Amino acid sequence: MTITRNLFFSFALGAALAVPHLAFAQAQYGGQGLGSALSSNPLSHQEATKPGVDDLASRAATETPFKIIKDVKLGLKDADPAVRVSELEKLRNLQDPEVNQILISSMSDPDVRVKVKAIDILGARGANEAVTPMSTMIFLRSTEPIVKLHLVAGLGRIGDAQGAVPVMQYLGQDQDERGRGTAVFALGEIGSDKAVPLLNAVVAQDQSPMVRRLAKEALQKVSGEMPTERAKTVAQASTKENEPTDQKLAKLREMDKKMEDEER
C-alpha cells in the first residue's frame, strides 16, 4: 500500500506543477470579477475542466502520438464544440511537429470556445510559428473581443519579439482596462526594447492604477530588473529537477504518513 501511495504522490506532484495559474485574460470569458483577476498572472489561464480530461495524461502514456493525432483529427470534425475543445486538450503536451499546425488551424474554428482553447494551448506550448497568424488575427474585424484578448495573452506567453508590435498596436486601440492590462503585461513578457516608449507613456498617462503598475513592472522586465513569468517557471522546474533524491523521498514519506494518520 505504501508503494502505491508513493507512486500516486509522485504523479500528483508532477501534475501539480503543470497546473496553470488563474487567468487574467480568461477571467472575462469565465465571468470572474476584475478584482480576482488582478491578483494573478494576466497571461496565464484557468480553463474549465471537461469530462474525461483527467484521463488524458494516462492515455497519452499508453497511446502513440500518431494514434492520438489521428483521433484528434477525427474528433475535430464533431459537430459539438465541447468535443472539439476536449480533443484539442489532448495535444497540450504532445511532442509532434504536426501538433502546432493543428492548433493553428483550430484558431479558425467557428466556435469561440474552440478558438480560445487553441490559442491558450499554443501560448502554453510557446509555439513561435503561431506568432504570425495570431498577430494577423488580432486585427481582423471578424475576430471576437474575447478572442483578441486571448491572442494578446498568447503572444505574451510565447515571448517572441515579433509579437511586440501587434500587442503595442492593440494596446493603443483598446479602451478596456482589462485589455490594456493584459497588453502591457504581455509586452513585459516579450521583453522588446521597442515597447519602452509606449510603456513609459502608459505609466505617465493611463487612468488605471492597475495598468500603470503593470506597465512599471513590464519596464522592469524589459530592462532585466525583474524576471518574466516564463523565467520563473523555468527556474522552478530546474529547482525541482535538481532536488536531491533523499529530499524527494522524505517529502513522499511525510505525505504518506499524513495519509495514514487521516485513515486512522
The pLDDT of residue 224 is above 80: yes
Of residues 193 and 22, more confidently modeled? 193
pTM of the model: 0.70
Domain boundaries of the chain, sorted by first residue: 49-125
- pLDDT, tens digit, 9 for 90 and up, residues 51-109: 455 555 555 556 799 999 999 999 999 999 999 999 999 999 999 999 999 999 999 99
**Through-space distance between the first and last CA atoms of the chain, rounded to whole angstroms:** 15
Averaged pLDDT for residues 220-238: 84
Q: For position 87, what pLDDT does the model report?
A: 98
Q: Which amino acid is it at 225?
A: E
Q: For position 220, what pLDDT does the model report?
A: 97
SS3 labels along the chain: CHHHHHHHHHHHHHHHHCCCCCCCHHHHHHCCCHHHHHCCCCCCCCCCCCCCHHHHHHHHHHCCHHHHHHHHHHHCCCCCHHHHHHHHHCCCCCCCCCHHHHHHHHCCCCCHHHHHHHHHHHHHHCCHHHHHHHHHHHCCCCCCHHHHHHHHHHHHHHCCHHHHHHHHHHHHHCCCHHHHHHHHHHHHHHCCHHHHHHHHHHHHHCCCHHHHHHHHHHHHHHHCCCCCHHHHHHHHHHHHHCCCHHHHHHHHHHHHHHHHHHHC
The pLDDT of residue 212 is above 70: yes
Q: Who's near 71: CB < 8 A, 6+ residues apart?
A: 63, 87, 90
